[in-house]
Structure 1
Amino acid sequence: MERTRIVIVGGGFAGVECARRLTRRLDSAEADITLVTPAGYSLYLPLLPQVAAGMLTPQSVAVSLRRVLRGTQVLPGGAIGIDTKAKNCVVRMTTGEIVDVPYDYLVLTPGSVTRTFDIPGLEDHARGMKTLAEAAYLRDHMITQLDLAAHSLDAEERAARLRFVVVGGGYAGTETAASLQRLTAAACRRYPRLDPSQVKWHLVDIAPKLMPELGDDLGFKALTMLRRRGIEVSLGVSVAEVTAESVTFTDGRKLPCHTLIWTAGVAASPLISTFEAEKVRGRLAVTPTLEVPGAPGVFAVGDAAAVPDLASGEGAICPPTAQHATRQGKAVADNVIAAMRDGSLRPYRHRDLGLVVDLGGTDAVSKPLGIELAGLPAQAVARGYHISALRTNVAKVRVLTNWTLHAIAGDDFVRIGFFAQRPANLRAFEYTDAYQTPEEVRERTNRSSVVGGPFGFR
């Protein structure tokens, strides 16, 4: 009996949870399960700012797929096109080779990419915080600015290198600004020639409130914590222009600056635009049972899918959070199995359990199950949640060990040497220009007959 071919695109929260559940609940003789992802690890994204700040090592938030997916074939590449009629997934391998991967069932969990706008100089001079490599690079860049400022005899250059701007007042931007501000504050004690008062941090967001999902009270407490630590927060403001040495805001201010960190939201993976299907706010429309209408055998979950939020009322869609992605991954696996066995598919339903925001030290705000917490209790909840959410005991031990060592011994502020001679731009770590158009995908399918094989390569 020929095994069913299940292809999962994306190695994030949803994709990995889907693969884990499928391998546990399906017999090896029933299906060939392939996970398409360019990296050999699953990234625990919420702790990425702490990697940039040196509190955690990169390995502690990167869970090896070989460790957690022993019954799944991991294909090192990225999907760049989908032909839903021919049931073919076009994959660009990490070597650059393009191959066809046929499927019987396709689960799309390609995630998201950094959302940008048509701002002069943004993509050339901004840095992102979306990938593990970006976090490691940003740490190098920050320490480099401190090194150069400490040895500069030019007061204007020193001021520019010691000014850091974070754009985006959501969870990612706020935690990034808070974590990296603690990095520079601690580092200045190791630089006798640097005056800590010269280090300037700015957090800007076009929204009128900081992290509005937290509510007015907790949002105000988080704002107070940031300002108490010397971070200037500007709301209702965005960026008008970026150069290598300055940032101009929409309120007319022009600040000398060598570091702009862009965390102003995310957009669905460009893969979604490679095939014709209904979109909702840029995300792929799916039914409550996580199926893509008009595409037999295709399911979609995670950041790139507009999953109806049945727990929040009619018309709502699930926010792109790790909490929803993890549970959607399990739900879609169950529905794929039900579809294989001619069973009934179940609609996805999950009520959000709350939010946690770690601002470093004893600064934190949390809202577990609707209960508002701030300070040390909120920090305990935030870190407890992160530990429980990590997929393996090895990852849990690594993170706990890193937190303990950092609290006791501090940071050595060592640079690795990423892009030492050439600075990396915003798109250096995110591949957003390699995707095929729907016409190119159809033309490729028409030119060749897709065949099977261990991965279904052609």
Structure 2
Amino acid sequence: MAVPRILIVGGGYVGMYTALRLQRRLHRGEAQITVADNDSYMTYQPFLPEAAAGSIEARHVVVPLRRVLRSCEILSGRVTSVRLADRKAEVKPHEGPDLTLDYDYLVLAPGSVSRLLPIPGLAESGIGFKTVEEAIHLRNHVLGRMDVAASTADDDIRRRALTFVFVGGGFAGVEAIAELEDMATHASRYFRGIHRDDMRWILVEATDRILPEVGPDMGRWTARQLSERGVEVKMGTLLKSAEGCHIVLDDGDEFDTDTLVWTAGVKPNPIVRAGDLPLDEKGRVKATPFLRIEGTDFAFTGGDAAAVPDLTRPGQLCPPNAQHAVRQARRLADNLLATLRGRELKPYRHQSAGSVASLGLYKGVAQIYGREVRGYPAWFMHRTYHLVRMPTLNKKSRILADWTLGLFFPREIVSLGAVQNPREEFTLAARM
């Protein structure tokens, strides 16, 4: 008798944690687990701002799937289609012919991608902030622009290089601009002729408040804190154009910049539209309270791409955050095992504990079980909570070592921008 195959699409929070739990609880020969994702590692996204700021080594915020999922088959490639009717999925490896995978049970957790708007110049000029590659690039880019500004006598080039624009006032945008502004302020003391006042940091948010996840009062407090640090917080403002990196805002402000970071929302991974999956009006996969895909008894889903009912708030859906994703993975794995063994399933229910955000070194904001926390205590809670949630003792130890060393030694201010074009020097040498 053939061993059933469990296909897990996506190696993020839900995918990796589900596979890890199944790996630990499946009996020998009970099922085969296949994990398919474009990357062979899971990125712990809450630590991306600190990785971009240099407080954490970027390699320490990713977990290699092959190391933690040793009993699973790992396929690196892009899943191009998932079909429920015939239980097949199409995978395009990075090299070689496409693969067709048959499966008996499915876990669909492809996550989300940046949601771009049809703004002229955005696709050509902007950069997202969802991957470790983007975090590394942004750190190198900011320090590289400071190098440019310190090495030119042209005021226009200098002004453009030292203007940094972030669009989107949610967690990603606020944490990114806060951490990078903090890093750049520290770095400026080593750049002759560059002072904090020479830099312009701008946060653009379309709604009338930032950080809605921590409540209106803490959002206003955060806006004041950023403003006191010299960050221009433009709420109720839209980006109209970014052609040629010339920024046009609907409040009449226009200026040039070399740095445009887009963090204004996400959307489900496009893979959910390639197949016969049931979708809601926002393109998310419809899920039951048991984390099954609607209309099936063999397919499960969770995370950013899933519309999971929030049983603690009737009529609403679970927000797409790491807190829910990790807990959904645990329930999803247990319900899949229950299905495999003919046992009763349990619904997913989790009362949100709150939200925490870092605003730079020793600065933070949080709302925990309705209580508002700010400043150093919130920053400490942010680090502690996410350190506990970081997978593997190896990564926990490395991150803790990074933080400990940061108490005694200053941040690195080296821009390794050449990693973006590693063959450039070699190519130039060949022409000489």
1:177–1:203 contact (8 Å) kept in structure 2: yes
Equivalent in the alignment of 1:281:
282
Once residues 202 and 275 of structure 2 are traced to their aligned partners in structure 1, the CA distance between those partners, rounded to angstroms, is 40
Distance in 2, Cα, partners of 1:244 & 1:150: 23
SS of equivalent residue, structure 2 residue 255: strand
- Does the CA-based 8 Å contact 2:38-2:79 persist in structure 1? no
Gaps of 5+ in 2: 424-432
Residue deviations 1:255-297 (CA, integer Å, cap 9, x gap)? 1211000000110000111123232422111111111123452
Local SS of the residue matching 1:178: helix
The offset of 1:419, in angstroms, is 2.8
Residues 20-419 of structure 1 aligned to structure 2 (within 5 Å): 20-95=20-95, 97-276=97-276, 277-313=278-314, 315-416=315-416, 417-419=418-420
3-state secondary structure, aligned to 1:279: coil
Give the letter aligned to residue 374 of structure 2: A
Moved more, 182-191 or 119-128: 182-191
| Contact 1:160–1:245, Cα closer than 8 Å, also in 2 | no
SS of 1:281's equivalent in the other structure is coil
Mapped to 1, the partners of 2:406 and 2:237 lie a distance apart of 35
The Cα shift of 1:393 comes to 1.3
Deviation for aligned residue 1:9: 0.6
Q: After the TM superposition, which of the residue ranges 55-64 and 304-313 deviates more from structure 2? A: 55-64
Indicate how the Cα distance of structure 1 residues 401 and 179 shifts in structure 2: closer, same or farther if over 3 A, else same.
Answer: same
AA paired with 1:75?
A: L
1:3 aligns with 2:6: no
CA positional deviation for 1:138:
1.2
Give the Cα separation in 1 of the matches to 2:97 and 2:409.
46
Distance in 2 between the 1:61 and 1:197 partners?
32
Which one is further off, 333-342 or 349-358?
Answer: 333-342
CA distance in 1, matches of 2:59, 2:375: 28
Equivalent-residue separation in structure 2 for 1:215 and 1:133 (angstroms) = 31
Amino acid in structure 2 at the alignment position of 1:66: R
Counterpart residue identity of residue 287, structure 2: V
**CA shift for structure 1 position 326:** 0.6
Deviation at 1:420, TM superposition (A): 4.4
Distance 1:192 1:129 in 2: 30
In 1, the alpha carbon distance for the partners of 2:177 and 2:268 equals: 24
Instruction: Quote the Cα distance in structure 2 between the aligned partners of 1:418 and 1:247.
Output: 27
**1:365 aligns to what SS in structure 2?**
strand
Q: Which moved more, 1:284-293 or 1:62-71?
A: 62-71
After alignment, is 121-130 or 75-84 more displaced?
Answer: 75-84
| CA distance in 1 between partners of 2:400 and 2:246 (Å) | 39
RMSD (CA atoms): 1.6
CA–CA distance in structure 1, aligned partners of residues 339 and 422 of structure 2: 53
TM-fit CA distance, 1:21: 1.0
Question: Which residue number in structure 2 is paired with residue 454 of structure 1?
Answer: none
Q: Secondary structure at the match of 2:289?
A: coil
Could you give the per-residue CA deviations for residues 351-380 of structure 1, whole angstroms, max 9, x where no partner exists? Answer: 111110011122111112222101111111
Contact 1:85 1:295 in 2 (8 A): no
**Preserved CA contact (<8 Å) 2:164 2:259:** yes
Change (3 A) 1:16 1:421: closer
Query: Given the superposition, is the C-alpha separation of residues 415 and 354 from structure 1 closer, same or farther in structure 2, using an over 3 Å criterion?
Result: same
TM superposition shift of 1:27:
1.2
> SS of 2:34's equivalent?
strand
Hey, what's the Cα distance between the residues in 2 that align with 1:295 and 1:221? 46
- Residue type of the alignment partner of 2:333: A
One-letter code aligned to 1:192:
R
Native 8 Å contact 2:80 2:91 kept in 1: yes
Letter in 1 for 2:298: G
The whole-number CA distance in structure 2 between the counterparts of 1:324 and 1:377 is 23
Check whether the contact 1:5–1:104 (CA below 8 A) recurs between aligned residues: yes
Secondary structure of the structure 2 residue equivalent to 1:165 = strand
Deviations 1:235-258 (A, max 9, x none): 001211113342111222111211
Shift of 1:223: 1.2
Asked if the contact 1:90–1:101 (Cα under 8 Å) also holds between the matched residues in 2, the reply is yes
AA paired with 1:124?
A: E
Q: How far does residue 421 in structure 1 lie from its aligned partner after superposition?
A: 9.1
After TM superposition, the score normalised by the length of structure 2 is 0.95
Q: How many residues align?
A: 422
Q: Write the deviation string for residues 311-350 of structure 1: whole angstroms up to 9, x where unpaired.
A: 112x100000001001111111111111111211211111
**Which residue of structure 1 lines up, in the alignment, with residue 427 of structure 2?**
none
Cα deviation, residue 154, structure 1:
0.9
SS in structure 2 of the partner of residue 251 of structure 1 = coil
CA distance in 2, matches of 1:414, 1:327: 38
Counterpart-to-counterpart distance in 1, 2:195 and 2:378: 32
The structural deviation recorded for 1:40 is 2.2
Counterparts of 2:355 and 2:286 in 1: how far apart (Å)? 25
Q: How far apart, in 1, do the equivalents of 2:90 and 2:78 lie?
A: 9
The percentage of counterpart residues that share the same residue type is: 39
Q: Is the 8 A contact 1:244 1:258 kept in 2?
A: no
